[in-house]
Amino acid sequence: MLKNHRARRAATYVLLAGAVTLTLSACSKTQSASSPTSTPTSASTAKCGTVNLADNAWVGYEANLAVVSYVLKNDLGCKVVVKNISEEISWQGFASGQVDAILENWGHDDLAKKYITTQNVAVDLGLTGNQGIIGWYVVPWMATKYPDILDYRNLNKYATMFKTSESGSKGAFLDGDPSYVTNDEALIKNLGLNYKVIYTGSEAALITSFRTAEAQKKPLIGYFYEPQWFLAEVPLKHVTLPPYTAGCDAVAAKVACDYPPYALNKIARVAFMNSGSPAATMIKNFQWTNADQNSVAKSLAVDKLTDDAAAKIWVDAHPDQVKAWLKA
Amino acid sequence: MATQLLVAPTSEKSKVEAPKKSKLNRYLAFLTVGFLSFAILFRGKATLPLDRSSLTPFQVSLNSFSAWIDTNRDSNPIFTSFINVIRGSINGFVTFLQNLISQTGDTRSIPQIGWLGIVAIIGWVVYAISNTRIAIFAMAGFVSLGLLGFWQESMDTLALTLAAVSISLIIGIPLGICAGLYPKFERFITPALDFAQVMPTFVYLTPVTLFFLIGPASATIVTLIYALPPALRITAVAIKQVPWSSVEAAVSMGSTRMQALRKVQLPQAKRTIVVGINQTIMAALSMVTIAALIDAPGLGQVVVRALESLDVGRSFQAGLAIVILAVVLDRSTTAAASKVDSGTTSGTSHRTHRFVLTVLAALALAMCLISRALDWAGAFPGTWTVGSTIAKYANLWVAWFQVHFVTLTNDITDVVSYGLINPMQSLLTQSPWFITGLAFVGLGTIFGGKKLAAISAFCVVAIVGTGLWSDTMVTLASTLVASVITVALGILVGTWIGRSRRADRWVRPILDAGQVLPAFVYLVPFLGLFGATRFTAIMAAVVYAAPASIKLMADGIRGVPDTIVEAATAAGSSSWQMIVKVQIPSARRALALATNQGIIYVLAMIVVGGLVGAGGLGYLVVAGFAQENLKGKGLAAGLAIVLLGIMLDRITQAIAHRNSKEYSQSSH
């Protein structure tokens, strides 16, 4: 009996505390409204409002995002909401109105068709200025020691060196994050190479593998791409494949040529572009080079700066370029 | 991520004719020889391989299902009138909690309650439900979240966890009471619960965002799916534990069935229900990083983003915050459960307690007001944090370790891969599916009779139906190796800490950390040490699964009756004889249970293994999350994991059940 009584008491207290908290929160609205939080540097606060930016999980994207949101916040007084989501879910966000812009898009013809052409909810905002390269790479020490390894025709000669516990009797070829576009299995088959694709399953696994292989001077070959901050730490060497010609990758199972060069672009939500927000114009104007992106990416990944700190360094060094982005 | 009480209730019912021990061994030997000889004879036939990028018709049909959702979201009435309403209300609930404790609004620089206020409230609540010592511990824990530099992220995580846990309890406890009262309902709902706990979260991340879009609602629902089953199951167990005679007594004295429930069953079940709440909280917290993949706010975000730049230190820093949060909530609710248990207080101390509570409530309220008025008490002062120092040292330590041990760890990887994983995998993937399938059915028959044989046969056929038999065998090989290591650790460490209270005190926090620390934190160092291999995945699974096995084994050792131990001592047994001849054999049931839970926990990590080079089903699930045209295949892989999990779980449970029976027979 006593126990029950006590429990009821405790419950009353909890309820009471809850009620007090609620009252508190109700009266606080007026109280703290008078204390301003942050002071935007520009007068255009009212015009910009909230911008929802997708954040895809690689550092090059992160660099674009850092600089764009820094400029949006500091020069236009926008409230930037960053959504950490994968590429496909980002595109989904155009349809649901939850994402305003993707700042570095790698191809994705299927998604472009679905959301730009068919549903008409997204629009191509033009190039970021970054050139994307996808291809086969080896650790740099091997390129120095065996220069002819950089031609795919000589890869079979070295296949046994690349053998690991995972690859059976063949050489191991490493693939990374499953969301990236790869033709590697078809390439190996169609070029008659004695290798087996090992699906590491994540970018972290791929980069760590390259990093340890270079440090220990162990052989490693795999899929990689530029621009990528890791190349500043370990400059992987690109292996040439049969050159890309338009349409040579049309049938996935028959691909026997290199990856196409990617001109990376920005995608935005149609309604956001029509809203007249100055942020829309700024994102449309945003353009820079691979070197620019790499320098910010390095601040983020190697020097471990926060997004804003890394962006500030670059923005302070390039005032004219930022000014050009802000022009209506 | 795991399934602590998975299926525990069901085994009680299956009454099995246990064959005699010698007969059993003969059957097993026969089965093994039969399997091996046929496997070698038909090697390479009917192995059902499937290329990475090929799809079976079944997988394609799953693909079109998710496309259908996408196109009908805004028109179908199920969405407009039902799902969108749920999304709206959950979003509102989470946003309300965030405004209260974590997020600053447009006009405020701190949340409604600043950090000092939250720490005070936590102290008060924990004091009210448990005791002074735990209350101080909880407050210290919360302050350390701020010191780590993650106050706001921690509060976001807390808000989301509170939301998911309270919805889990609101749904789970009533349903659990129903399941406890009506066995039919329990039988009906058990497969659904199994499904929810074994199905890898990655599989339903995309469907959930399709239904509920990105945002707090999706994050809460993903967490909910995983956290609700323990609440329901344990409540059902709690209700069933109450002796039927006491219910009958109440009814015969004129109570209605409802009154009997309220006055007799619920009060007696309360302690176990609190244990269920504890398990629900832990399950919710284990989802923090996964939910971050669909933009759940909080500590998970920090971990996921640190992984991008391979920043081990920072992910460790955030992982530590998650561990602290988990340990605080775990200890508080555990203490609350034992307090419910330990009953009566005298009248005077009760009045004193009430008085103290009132005073402390006033104090907590004052702290809240202060936290709203003063800057340093509102937002956690940045100058106090030591997080980046911890991150720096963690990075340095990991780098040092890697440089000095990488040769050794590479050798270990090779020995285990060539010596154990490769032969196992080639045996399983090269055998015809019907031979391996028959072996499973045989195991089921030996240990569980016809019913288990039927379940095994169903699972085998269904796995073949998913089109992923070969990948399932790859995964099974790694799962078996990981389970062997897990059980070996369970026996070694479990026996050690089961025999020594002091060792237990030191080891237990490490075990807790192993269970709660997000795998993403240690994946990068493991990758550095063991490469992108199946062995890395196995190690990650062992870190997660071994603690459960160790704890269960330690409990078993401790549960060996004193009389037996004393008798052995009197007979002059040495410590070694005591362990090998007396304690481990007596703890046989615990050992079987440790094996069962070890396997289930290993299975929970399969998908994470797919992120570090394990291939198999785990990789397919991850790929399905990432690529539009592989979505159906990922879904099928998820199904295959569930089927494999249910089969292994039922078989090992039957073994555990038999062992306990034998033990009870032999000790009579």
pLDDT tens digits, residue range B17-65?
Answer: 455 667 777 888 888 888 888 778 777 777 777 777 778 888 888 777 7
pLDDT tens column, B227-263: 999 899 889 888 888 888 888 888 888 888 888 888 8
If one compares B76 and A213, the residue with the highest pLDDT of the two is: A213
Distance between CA A147 and CA A142 in Å, rounded?
A: 7
CA-based nearest distance A67→chain B, Å: 17
CA-based nearest distance A287→chain B, Å: 23
Contacts of A207 in chain B (CB under 8 A): 310
- Angstrom CA distances, A54 to A102, A156, A297, stand at 5, 42, 17
Distance of CA A6 to the CA centre of its chain: 55
Tell me which residue of B569, B401, B404, B411 sits closest to B499, measured CA to CA.
B569
| Per-residue confidence (pLDDT) for residue A146, from 0 to 100 | 95
Which residues pair with residue A196 across a beta bridge? A172
Give the best residue of A212, A298, A303 to mutate against chain B (max B CB count within 10 A).
Answer: A212
Taking the alpha carbons at both ends of chain A, their separation in whole angstroms is 75
B128 contacts in chain A (CB < 8 Å): 10, 13-14
Q: What is the dihedral of CA A261, A266, A271, A272, to 10 degrees?
A: 180
pLDDT for A31 equals: 38
Coil vs helix vs strand at A52: strand
Mean pLDDT of the B645-652 span: 90
Radius of gyration of chain A (CA): 25
Interchain pair B292, A212: CB under 8 A: no
Q: What is the pLDDT of residue B586?
A: 80
Q: CB distance from B304 to chain A under 8 Å?
A: yes
Q: What is the pLDDT of residue B375?
A: 79
Percent of chain B residues topping a pLDDT of 90: 29
What is the dihedral angle through the alpha carbons of B76, B80, B85, B91, rounded to the nearest 10 degrees? 90
Whole-number pLDDT of residue B662 = 61
What gap in Å lies between CA A170 and CA A176, rounded to an integer? 19
**Phi and psi dihedrals of A266, rounded to 5?**
-110, 145
Q: Decide: residue A276, CB within 10 A, 0-12 exposed, 13-18 middle, 19+ buried.
A: exposed
Q: A190-194, B187-191, B457-461, B587-591: which has the minimum mean pLDDT?
A: B587-591
Q: CB contacts < 8 Å between A and B, how many?
A: 209
On the question of pLDDT at B12 being above 70, the answer is no
Q: Are the CB atoms for B117 and B363 separated by under 8 Å?
A: no
Which residue is closest to B407 within chain A, CA to CA? A216
Q: Do A198 and B527 touch (CB under 8 A)?
A: no
DSSP state of A98: -
Cβ contact (<8 Å) for A304 and B311? Answer: yes
Which residues in chain B are closer than 8 Å to A4, comparing Cβ atoms?
267
Q: A195-199 and A171-175: which strand pairing?
A: parallel
Stated pTM of the model: 0.83
pLDDT in tens, B66-99: 677 767 766 777 777 788 888 889 999 998 999 8
Predicted local confidence at residue B7, as pLDDT? 39
Chain B closest CA to A281's CA: distance in Å? 24
Q: Could B417 and A166 be called an inter-chain contact, meaning their C-beta atoms sit closer than 8 Å?
A: yes
Measured between alpha carbons, how far is B358 from B444 in angstroms, rounded to an integer? 59
Sorting pLDDT into bands at 50, 70 and 90, what band is A38? very low
Length of chain B: 668
Is B532 in contact with A209 (Cβ distance < 8 A)?
yes
Q: What is the pLDDT of residue B661?
A: 65
Pairwise CB contact (< 8 Å): B125 & A14: yes
Q: Which B residues in the span 489-528 are in contact with A, Cβ-Cβ below 8 Å?
A: 523-524, 527-528
Tell me how many degrees the CA angle B567-B573-B578 measures, rounded to the nearest 5: 85
Distance of alpha carbon B500 from alpha carbon B663, whole angstroms: 24
Residues linked to residue A123 through DSSP beta bridges, in sequence order: A268
Could you give the C-alpha distances from B178 to B103, B249, B277, in angstroms and in order?
38, 21, 17
Give how far A202 is from chain B: nearest CA, Å: 5
Nearest CA in chain A to B111: A25
Q: Are A307 and A78 in contact (CB under 8 A)?
A: no
Residues forming beta bridges with residue A225, ordered by sequence position:
A134
pLDDT value of residue B74: 65
- A18 versus A236: the higher-pLDDT residue is A236
- pLDDT of A45-101, one tens digit each? 447 889 999 998 788 899 999 999 999 999 999 999 998 888 888 998 898 888 999
pLDDT for A34 beyond 60: no
pLDDT at A35: 37
Amino acid at B546: A
Check residue B667 and give its pLDDT. Answer: 46
pLDDT tens figures, B264-296: 888 888 888 888 888 899 889 988 888 988 888
Residue A24 is predicted with a pLDDT of: 45
The single-letter code of the amino acid at B238 is A
Residue B11: its pLDDT value, please? 40
Instruction: Find the helix or strand (DSSP H, E) in which B434 lies.
Output: helix B433-466
HEC assignment per residue over B242-267: CCHHHHHHHHHCCCCHHHHHHHHHHH
CA distance B357 to chain A (A): 8
Please give the pLDDT value at position A227: 84
d(C-alpha B120, C-alpha B140), whole Å: 11
pLDDT reported for residue B546: 93
Cβ burial, residue B102 (10 Å; 0-12/13-18/19+): buried
**Amino acid, single-letter form, for residue A65:** L
Phi/psi at B179 (5° precision): -65, -35
What is the share, in percent, of chain A residues with pLDDT greater than 90? 54
Predicted pLDDT of residue B16: 46
A101-105 and A171-175 as β-strands: parallel, antiparallel, unpaired? unpaired
Chain A residues lying within 8 Å of B413, measured CB to CB: 165
The verdict on a CB contact (< 8 Å) between B350 and A14 is no
Which chain A positions have a beta carbon within 8 Å of B262's beta carbon? none
B125, B209, B623 member nearest A89 (Cβ): B209
B-chain CB neighbours of A252 within 8 Å are: 53
Average pLDDT of chain A, as a whole number? 84
**What are the structure tokens assigned to B324, written together?**
């602290």
How close, in Å, is residue A271 to chain B by CA atoms? 17
- Record: contact B422-A165, CB cut-off 8 A: yes
Name the DSSP letter for residue A101. Answer: E
**In chain B, which among 4-33 make CB contacts under 8 A with chain A?**
none
Whose tokens are 């000790």? That residue is B667
Average pLDDT for chain B: 85
**Interface predicted TM-score (ipTM) over 0.85:** no
| pLDDT single digits (tens) B340-372 | 766 545 556 777 888 888 888 888 888 888 888
CB of B550 closer than 8 Å to CB of B576: no
B667's CB contacts (< 8 A; 6+ apart) are none
- B460 pLDDT band, cuts 50/70/90, is very high
In chain A, which residue's Cα lies nearest the Cα of B367? Answer: A21
Peptide bond into A227 cis (omega under 30): yes
What H or E segment, with its residue span, contains residue B326? helix B312-341
Residues A155-184: tens digit of each pLDDT: 999 999 999 999 889 999 999 888 777 889
Please name the residue ranges forming H helices in B467-561.
469-499, 501-516, 519-530, 534-558
Beta bridge partners of A53: A82, A101
- Cα→Cα distances A291→A211, A264, A325, B310, Å: 22, 14, 18, 21
Query: In 3D, which of A269, A321, A273 has the Cα closest to residue A293?
Result: A321
